[in-house]
Amino acid sequence: MDGTPPFKWRHFEADMILLCVRWYLRYALSYRNLEEMMAERGLAIDHTTIFRWVQQYAPELEKRCRPHLKPTTDSWRVDETYIKVRKAWMYLYRAVDSEGNTLEFLLSPTRDAEAAKRFFCKALYVAASSASQARPIEEPVVQRTALARLNTAPSAPRVVNVDKNAAYPKAIADLKAAGVLPASVELRQVKYLNNRIEQDHRFIKRLVKPGMGFFSVETAERTLQGYEVMNMLRKGQIRGVDKGDIRLQITFIARLFGVAA
């Protein structure tokens, strides 16, 4: 947020803004649901105002949480699910490690080898950047030549588990040929090994359903950033914040934004 105080010029208290953002990203609520819930507390907050808060603070929440994530394993589970954007279905590529920890996501209009390569490039870039705690809010698509110059040894997966989608072998082969992935990376197309990520999709799909889809790719990506980071927090991926410790999770988010919990 360019170094400016995150809640400057807001008409509502910072803790109330964070409460609305956190509830929307964590629970299966619509913006109108939250408007009614705030009205019960005596606060007249329009649902469009809550929408603007989520669009601004969801990416910022993800940015601030990234440096605090625990390390992930080198066994990746990759799969795609469906998200409706502007009344059309788009493909949401997602990856978790062998312990179910979220790695990265990518929203794509296509489901082919090029989309798979973009996703792997993004996941590798984020893994390498997270190691140095220098990831921007919205990183651009990484060019092959630039990514190849990264030291991928600590962040590249040892094995990638996917389904029977024919695009994955081509994508992996192309990335190996370009030097983006080490030749030692093993690709396994065994469906039952991806049960973990297929189960993990449910959390994201359950949150998307009340809103009945997104009206633009930009709003979808920003909201999904918030969904994913709250999912990470829920699963205990933040250092020092245990899974199921709701009070500590609330305190952690408040401290990230300099707000008293």
Is 138 inside any structural domain? yes
Tell me, what's the pLDDT at 129? Answer: 67
**Within this chain, do residues 25 and 58 fall inside the same structural domain, yes or no?**
yes
Mean pLDDT of the chain: 87
Tell me, what's the pLDDT at 260? Answer: 72
The helix (run of H) or strand (run of E) holding residue 106 is strand 102-108
**Within this chain, do residues 49 and 157 fall inside the same structural domain, yes or no?**
no
Whether residue 11 has pLDDT greater than 90: no
What digits encode the pLDDT tens for the residues 220-254?
Answer: 999 999 999 999 999 999 999 999 899 999 999 99
The DSSP letter of residue 71 is P
Greater confidence (248 vs 194) lies with 248
What digits encode the pLDDT tens for the residues 84-112?
Answer: 998 899 999 999 999 999 999 999 999 99
**Within this chain, do residues 134 and 31 fall inside the same structural domain, yes or no?**
no
Provide the H-helix boundaries in 4-160.
Answer: 14-26, 31-40, 47-65, 113-131, 144-148
**Within this chain, do residues 82 and 60 fall inside the same structural domain, yes or no?**
no
Whether residue 128 has pLDDT greater than 80: no
Write the CATH number for 167: 3.30.420.10
* Cβ contact 189:168 at 8 Å: yes
Residue 20 CA to residue 34 CA, distance in Å, equals: 7
Q: Give the structural domain span for 37.
A: 14-68+215-256
Is 208 inside any structural domain? no
The count of structural domains within the chain is 2
Among 200, 225, 241, the domain-final residue is 200
Tell me, what's the pLDDT at 138? Answer: 40
Provide the H-helix boundaries in the chain.
Answer: 14-26, 31-40, 47-65, 113-131, 144-148, 167-177, 195-208, 217-234, 246-256
* Cβ contact 128:247 at 8 Å: no
Tell me, what's the pLDDT at 194? Answer: 85
Distances from the Cα of 260 to the Cα of 41, 155, 237, 244, angstroms: 20, 35, 23, 21
Whether residue 72 has pLDDT greater than 50: yes
**Within this chain, do residues 136 and 43 fall inside the same structural domain, yes or no?**
no
